[in-house]
Structure 1
């Protein structure tokens, strides 16, 4: 199957190459640029904007040009906190086509996939280049042996994890925070600079999403002092620490809920959604052990996340967390006819900004989060919909697709055209800033291990390559870097085999280090835009572009037809990164990309395709 070639199409994205200020303030005038290859046939464009709910078409002018392309520019005013825009182009068979976040269309389109600029305060600068390392504290590393609590099933470190069944939440292996502190050199060697911990508050399970208090760190993890030691050790290395908070619910052993059960007239009784006191109440997915919070209650908001005395504020700071990941954020504040989710997210953001302006706010979300990313709330969400599922769908082995009722959609095997279409759809529905700060992942404590799902180590390398090169904040799930296995989320929470290096996949470890250290050294991979070049069933190619660097990425799940890209697009020579061999142009003034697979290849373009050298200002010639 021949590839769909996109390099001759106009291009725009929300990065600094195409937007004069990606983080404008309200009232500011911003210049946006459209890159137009002459081969596209486009000669004119108008910028369609929507201000105060009404559309307008704005004139564009030539910014610069050469024999191969020209750049158009237009100015728009940030009169609203979020301004959406798209381009109206000539050059189609009918002389009428729209260009938006999903590409070219020869028909009218909705505003849903417009490009968007937001005047809300931006995420902290450090987040753009961050690489997160997710740790499930009970299973990562242990500093000392502690007696198991009364709810637990005590296990030796090397024992088998129960992957399914009622005992899974109660296996206790005894990992703790000082154990993590002792392993920071390993984490840093991966190119990760931010540790993300699943919950650390006391609970009656190993996952701790059923908190019994938010006032202390679980003594089983070493208590408050161990958190301080971990935070200080990370900060001394220039690294950061993210916490995990359940704003949707707590555990039925939580002190607030016990007071609410005991006294229907207590303040705390208003924190929950009782339908008949004391034994009928709303809970997460019907689990009575996880009572849902009532965010209409002002005292709950004050204690949990509103203001300097809240739980959210208390645990931020130099001896605590640098940000929060909010568990089941998509459900928080939502029940029946009540939807307070935006209020929760914006209040959380305000409290964090007042407490620590450099704090990062990420949200768990498993599907379309576009409506939740249009306000001054989450900086980004876990990108299961726009990254994880497409990667799984493209790389997974062919198998029958089950159609089963339940909370999760099945994972079919799809073509490169389909999964790139999904990626473009989900990215187009949110501001570029949200795409840039989406938490990308190929696995987590809630999923199967990527090594188990894909089987073929070459396919796993492709998944890791995309994780290291796509826009967003990549997250490594502890153990994936050594090829740990797991058929589901519980099975994947196996203790890290520190004392058994023979169980490690050392090739996977070396590849992981190479990929993410390459990302850290590349301005384009950390900060650049995304320009799709070629897409076919078994392979696709894209550019990451910044002002000073352009990186070409080619991913393949199988052998495929060769892709030949003109040197006018990517230059005459490609410098291999992360172990990729260099490539040179042939006599036909094209560069032929490798056609074997599964494989991922990464090159720095020379000269940079993003270079404006030789471009001149003036009218279209």
Structure 2
């Protein structure tokens, strides 16, 4: 056993209940915050530092208990702004240190990673209760009713077991016939997996299998079963205690949308002012049929961009009596919230930036219709400027979770392409993964971190199994997903080992015939068992659902971290490959207690000198210590 330096002798604070009084404060409230200072850190005193009215303020923290191993300090943060930042100053021999969301620093640091308290209400509790499950309707399950439906001209019929096209026109036109009744017939699978939220990609009719090019927002696609099918699915989902979220495109419609058709037919129509018309720019569409130049999403002519500078767009999408975002929250549909497609681009072009205004308005309308409704954004890169807590409840956490997890778990010399980058996914050490995760988590309030949609893949990415290459590493990745702060999100099929080298190629159908026989080449029963056990584990542990995060060890090939609530401490050990192992402090274990193995095969042994973690790998170990 080789002992590696652990991180548990560093002072620590996060926004969880262990350190911050729970609840949403009001302006002017003093909120007690606590900081853990191990005796080995050398800190002689602790101060709280805030910035009020543009000026830094320092206040000495008061002792707040401790034991032979650590001291606790507390101070009161006066919430003087809707988002109030703070960090800690540590007096140590030979200088001083700052403690912020990225860790401890022996230099000056900007305020970007300071801790944050916010007066904005957090995401509804159900959003983080358990697994969120993404379904691409055309590929999940096909009911018998699909056989009788007349296909539109754009659809190219495919057999259920056909391999999806990974590029070219066929990628958007292959039609497998999955529908909403088919999803309803397979809810037992979701329930057994521990799904708490079913998230559907768009259900509005379009000219593609993905339906992000809506032709109307006034009806559910007849190919999916129409309005009645969505209502029936919603009732069935809610009857099982689950929630149902839809997918809306606030940035654009399809060029076949009825609004766009009227805009083209009559330049004096209200619909004409709802779109962005422009003569120049890389996103401008110039057509040969006499249509005036207009802005398309990334220049795609099929996706004309909505103009949020006009009242009519606001009225039809958000504020009107029968606005799109409100209508489907009501019966008979009863959606519990929305995921917003390309939320980062909505209302943004050049000097125009109304994205936050849209987010706040959509959230306000959701809450007015459904007080516990949820709003999640799609944003592939740094979303921190949009996540102060008053707009999107959470974001699809590609930058702060997906990308760093991929880069740690991908094999060397992988050829699987990076998401939106012109190179394959690179293999990096755990230090790079952890630094990235800490930086992105530190840039938003803890209540946002605790609700972020963490994913190992989506309908826009390669499949996890194709990325990591083995069942063992899928298990390591899934363990990270289910034990990290935030909401675990799984794309339908990942739990049974689906493969695919990019988003389109990964939109495979579910092999229900193989499931009925106990497994097969496209239904990995062993991987399904892993996902079910990890999902149940998260549901059984308050620390894994809502605890803080304290990194304990970072080795190139292994990481360990603690998830903690006032009543529970869970140690998670993840290894991508064999490594030397380590020794952690014995006092992590509650007096008189023995480690309880919650999951995995990594060995943990209690000795007189500490907790000995074996260098097994690839491997997972999850242990309850207190």
TM normalised by structure 2 equals: 0.94
1:200-239 Cα distance to aligned partner (Å, 9 max, x none): 0011100000000111111110111111111111111110
Q: Which residue of structure 2 aligns with residue 540 of structure 1?
A: 559
Q: Which residue of structure 1 aligns with residue 286 of structure 2?
A: none
Q: Which residue of structure 2 aligns with residue 599 of structure 1?
A: 619
SS of the equivalent of 2:595 reads strand
Provide the C-alpha distance between the structure 1 equivalents of 2:589 and 2:307, rounded to a whole number of angstroms.
55
Q: Among residues 320, 324, 333, which one is paired with 1:311 in the alignment? A: 324
SS of the equivalent of 2:95 reads coil
1:430-441 to 2 correspondences below 5 Å? 430-441=444-455
Provide the C-alpha distance between the structure 1 equivalents of 2:311 and 2:94, rounded to a whole number of angstroms.
57
Give 1:123 shift.
Answer: 1.4
Q: Which residue of structure 2 aligns with residue 396 of structure 1?
A: 410
1:210-269 Cα distance to aligned partner (Å, 9 max, x none): 000111111110111111111111111110001000001110000100000111111110
Provide the C-alpha distance between the structure 1 equivalents of 2:457 and 2:5, rounded to a whole number of angstroms.
29
Provide the C-alpha distance between the structure 2 equivalents of 1:401 and 1:8, rounded to a whole number of angstroms.
40
1:397-424 Cα distance to aligned partner (Å, 9 max, x none): 1127999996667521111111100000
Give 1:583 shift.
Answer: 3.9
Q: Which residue of structure 1 aligns with residue 596 of structure 2?
A: 575
Q: Which residue of structure 2 aligns with residue 23 of structure 1?
A: 24
Provide the C-alpha distance between the structure 1 equivalents of 2:362 and 2:525, rounded to a whole number of angstroms.
41
1:248-259 to 2 correspondences below 5 Å? 248-259=251-262
Q: Which residue of structure 1 aligns with residue 45 of structure 2?
A: 44
1:277-308 Cα distance to aligned partner (Å, 9 max, x none): 83310000111000001001111111112254
Q: Among residues 298, 315, 327, which one is paired with 2:341 in the alignment? A: 327
Provide structure 2 residue ranges, at least 5 long, that are not aligned to the other structure: 280-289
Provide the C-alpha distance between the structure 2 equivalents of 1:74 and 1:355, rounded to a whole number of angstroms.
39
Matched, 1:459 2:473: yes
Q: Which residue of structure 2 aligns with residue 514 of structure 1?
A: 533
Q: Among residues 419, 425, 443, which one is paired with 1:429 in the alignment? A: 443
SS of the equivalent of 1:585 reads strand
1:313-332 Cα distance to aligned partner (Å, 9 max, x none): 11114642101000011111
1:23-75 Cα distance to aligned partner (Å, 9 max, x none): 22222210000011111111210000122322211121011121111110001
Matched, 1:346 2:353: no
Q: Which residue of structure 1 aligns with residue 284 of structure 2?
A: none
User: Residues 417 and 501 of structure 2 are in contact (CA less than 8 Å); yes or no, is this contact kept in structure 1?
Assistant: no
Q: Which residue of structure 2 aligns with residue 587 of structure 1?
A: 608
Q: Which residue of structure 2 aligns with residue 299 of structure 1?
A: 312
Quickly say closer, same or farther: Cα 1:403–1:507, change in 2 above 3 A: closer
- How many pairs are equivalent? 604
User: Residues 121 and 389 of structure 2 are in contact (CA less than 8 Å); yes or no, is this contact kept in structure 1?
Assistant: no
Q: Which residue of structure 2 aligns with residue 553 of structure 1?
A: 572
User: Residues 573 and 602 of structure 2 are in contact (CA less than 8 Å); yes or no, is this contact kept in structure 1?
Assistant: no
User: Residues 227 and 320 of structure 1 are in contact (CA less than 8 Å); yes or no, is this contact kept in structure 2?
Assistant: no
User: Residues 365 and 382 of structure 1 are in contact (CA less than 8 Å); yes or no, is this contact kept in structure 2?
Assistant: yes
Provide the C-alpha distance between the structure 2 equivalents of 1:407 and 1:580, rounded to a whole number of angstroms.
36
Give 1:457 shift.
Answer: 1.2
SS of the equivalent of 1:228 reads helix
Give 1:562 shift.
Answer: 1.3
SS of the equivalent of 1:36 reads strand
1:461-476 to 2 correspondences below 5 Å? 461-476=475-490
Quickly say closer, same or farther: Cα 1:537–1:2, change in 2 above 3 A: farther
Q: Among residues 205, 210, 219, which one is paired with 2:208 in the alignment? A: 205
Quickly say closer, same or farther: Cα 1:31–1:427, change in 2 above 3 A: same
Q: Which residue of structure 1 aligns with residue 157 of structure 2?
A: 154
State the 4+ residue runs in structure 1 displaced beyond 6 angstroms. 400-406
Give 1:584 shift.
Answer: 4.1
Q: Which residue of structure 2 aligns with residue 614 of structure 1?
A: none
Quickly say closer, same or farther: Cα 1:582–1:455, change in 2 above 3 A: closer
Give 1:151 shift.
Answer: 1.1
Q: Which residue of structure 2 aligns with residue 336 of structure 1?
A: 350
Matched, 1:193 2:185: no
Q: Which residue of structure 2 aligns with residue 613 of structure 1?
A: none
1:541-583 Cα distance to aligned partner (Å, 9 max, x none): 0000011211110011111111101111234521111344774
Higher mean Cα deviation, 139-148 or 182-191? 139-148
Quickly say closer, same or farther: Cα 1:201–1:460, change in 2 above 3 A: same
SS of the equivalent of 1:64 reads strand
User: Residues 203 and 209 of structure 1 are in contact (CA less than 8 Å); yes or no, is this contact kept in structure 2?
Assistant: yes
Higher mean Cα deviation, 307-316 or 184-193? 307-316
Give 1:500 shift.
Answer: 2.3
1:116-515 to 2 correspondences below 5 Å? 116-144=116-144, 145=147, 146-275=149-278, 278-317=291-330, 319-374=333-388, 376-399=390-413, 410-501=424-515, 502-503=520-521, 504-515=523-534
Give 1:596 shift.
Answer: 1.2
Provide the C-alpha distance between the structure 1 equivalents of 2:275 and 2:532, rounded to a whole number of angstroms.
46
CA RMSD of aligned residues (A): 1.8
Provide structure 1 residue ranges, at least 5 long, that are not aligned to the other structure: 609-621
SS of the equivalent of 1:274 reads coil
Q: Among residues 566, 582, 595, which one is paired with 1:563 in the alignment? A: 582
Provide the C-alpha distance between the structure 1 equivalents of 2:599 and 2:414, rounded to a whole number of angstroms.
35
TM normalised by structure 1 equals: 0.94
1:48-87 to 2 correspondences below 5 Å? 48-87=49-88
Q: Which residue of structure 1 aligns with residue 98 of structure 2?
A: 98
User: Residues 190 and 512 of structure 1 are in contact (CA less than 8 Å); yes or no, is this contact kept in structure 2?
Assistant: yes
Quickly say closer, same or farther: Cα 1:405–1:463, change in 2 above 3 A: closer
Quickly say closer, same or farther: Cα 1:26–1:401, change in 2 above 3 A: farther
